[in-house]
């Protein structure tokens, strides 16, 4: 485990204590998951429960600001993300999020505020208005990072092997890039979440456009270009022999499970592919009751893989 960055380290007395308490986090849900993908939250919570990961409520959480606010005004973005970090820090907790957008935004903000003294001063002046201060003590993690730490426990709990599931896994950009900020997996050849998925007996297939952006951030500026990118991705996933696409990000999932509906290639072939969250795949393989995993909220029909999933 990489040591968390702490402005006070090595004088910080909390540092050692908090790395030992690694299985308790405030869970940062963001906006997209409670709005569109409550099945992701439900499946995350039931898995966390199985693995004794304690998810505490993130009182007072706002939007992370994400790339939207960063595009509009960086000081407002740093303040918004910085406030969320400072809230968890004040309560002495680390942060976990199941969203790549929130992960990227919070980590990126943390990176800037840690390294850039002039930005940190500006932001702390604004945070002082609401009684907060950023010191850089809260660690920010993606839920799949926490799961990867527990991969041996997960392997022991697989009771329902998913043989025949051919997954086009899409890690999403902000889980791995920029690697100096994300610090989770190889930015050009990620394998950690694939390893988790393959614990279930499923296969994470190679596909050329795996690391290509899903196009979702462009829905706000040009749905036309976002859809062109989505078509390229889906065609490649289907050509590569996948029978489902799996993500760990609600923004990417918006493309794969909402925007894709009714989408066809030039020859009129459907570009839909069952779209699942990492937590749903792991949950079903761990024998968790499928009603708790929220499959009824997946928009693209799951029929082609229903037998494999035991639905």
Partner 1 sequence: MTEAWGTLKSFAGKTFETLDPEFTDRVSQLIGGQDLTACFQCAKCSAGCPVSDKVNVQIHEVMRMLVLGLPEVLDTDMIWLCTTCYTCQERCPQGIDITDILFGLKNMAFQRNKAPQGYVSSRQQLYDTGKLYQPTDWEREDLGLEEVPHLELDETKKMFEKTGLLKLEEDD
Among 119, 133, 149, 195, contact with partner 1 (rule: CB under 8 A)? 119
CB of 242 to partner 1, least distance (A): 19
Candidate segments 123-131, 154-162, 198-206, 260-268, binder of partner 1 by CB under 8 A = 123-131
Within 10 angstroms of residue 15's Cβ, the number of other Cβ atoms is: 17
Q: Does 258 interact with partner 1 (rule: CB under 8 A)? A: no
Among 6, 79, 94, 150, contact with partner 1 (rule: CB under 8 A)? 79
The count of chain residues that interact with partner 1, using the rule CB under 8 A, is 65
Q: Does 174 interact with partner 1 (rule: CB under 8 A)? A: yes
Using CB under 8 A as the binding rule, the residues of this chain from 266 to 305 that contact partner 1 are 292, 294, 297
Q: Does 74 interact with partner 1 (rule: CB under 8 A)? A: yes
Q: Does 191 interact with partner 1 (rule: CB under 8 A)? A: no
Q: Under a CB-based contact definition with an 8 Å cutoff, are residues 41 and 98 in contact?
A: yes
> Among residues 122 and 166, whose Cβ is nearest to partner 1?
122
In the 8-state DSSP scheme, what is residue 9? T
What is the DSSP code string of 210-278? Answer: TTS--SGGGGGT-HHHHHHHHHHHHHHHHHTT-SEEEES-HHHHHIIIIITTT-B-TTS-B----EEEH
Using CB under 8 A as the binding rule, the residues of this chain from 199 to 238 that contact partner 1 are 211-213, 215, 217-222, 224-225, 228-229
> Among residues 228 and 264, whose Cβ is nearest to partner 1?
228
Distance CA 194, CA 191 (A): 5
Rounded CA Rg of the chain:
19
* 141 strand-pairing partners: 96
Q: Does 81 interact with partner 1 (rule: CB under 8 A)? A: no
Q: Does 39 interact with partner 1 (rule: CB under 8 A)? A: yes
Among 68, 158, 258, 311, contact with partner 1 (rule: CB under 8 A)? 68
Q: Does 263 interact with partner 1 (rule: CB under 8 A)? A: no
Among 9, 45, 166, 231, contact with partner 1 (rule: CB under 8 A)? 45
Candidate segments 16-24, 40-48, 89-97, 148-156, binder of partner 1 by CB under 8 A = 40-48
For the chain, the residue count is 311
The C-alpha angle with vertex 49 and arms to 184 and 40, in degrees rounded to 5, equals 60
Beta strands in 144-219 (DSSP E): 166-170, 203-204
What is the DSSP code string of 15-28? Answer: HHHHHHTTTEEEE-
CB of 308 to partner 1, least distance (A): 23
């Amino acid at each position: 485990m990489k040591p968390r960055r702490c402005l006070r380290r090595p004088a910080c007395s909390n540092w050692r204590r908090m790395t030992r308490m690694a299985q308790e986090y405030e869970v940062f849900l963001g906006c997209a998951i409670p709005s569109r993908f409550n099945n992701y939250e439900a499946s995350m919570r039931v898995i966390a429960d199985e693995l004794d990961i304690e998810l505490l409520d993130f009182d007072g959480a706002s939007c992370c600001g994400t790339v939207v606010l960063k595009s509009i005004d960086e000081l407002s973005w740093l303040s918004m993300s910085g406030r969320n970090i400072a809230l968890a820090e004040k309560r002495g907790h680390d942060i976990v999020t199941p969203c790549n957008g929130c992960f990227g935004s919070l980590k990126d903000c943390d990176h800037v505020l840690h390294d850039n003294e002039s930005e940190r001063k500006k932001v702390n002046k604004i945070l002082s208005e609401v009684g907060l201060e950023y010191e850089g003590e809260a660690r920010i993690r993606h839920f799949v990072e926490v799961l990867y730490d527990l991969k041996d426990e997960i392997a022991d709990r697989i009771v329902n092997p998913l043989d025949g599931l051919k997954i086009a896994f899409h890690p999403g950009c902000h889980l791995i890039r920029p690697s100096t900020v994300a610090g989770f997996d190889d930015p050009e050849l990620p394998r950690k979440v694939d390893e988790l998925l393959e614990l279930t007996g499923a296969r994470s297939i190679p596909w050329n456009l795996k690391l290509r952006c899903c196009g979702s951030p462009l829905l706000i500026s040009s749905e036309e270009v976002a859809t062109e990118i989505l078509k390229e991705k889906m065609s490649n996933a289907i050509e590569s022999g996948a029978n489902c696409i799996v993500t760990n990000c609600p923004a990417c999932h918006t493309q794969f499970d909402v925007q894709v509906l009714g989408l066809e290639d030039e020859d009129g072939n459907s570009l839909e592919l069952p779209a699942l969250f990492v937590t749903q795949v792991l949950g079903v393989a761990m024998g968790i009751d499928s009603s708790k995993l929220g499959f009824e909220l997946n928009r693209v029909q799951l029929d082609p893989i229903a037998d494999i999933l035991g639905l």
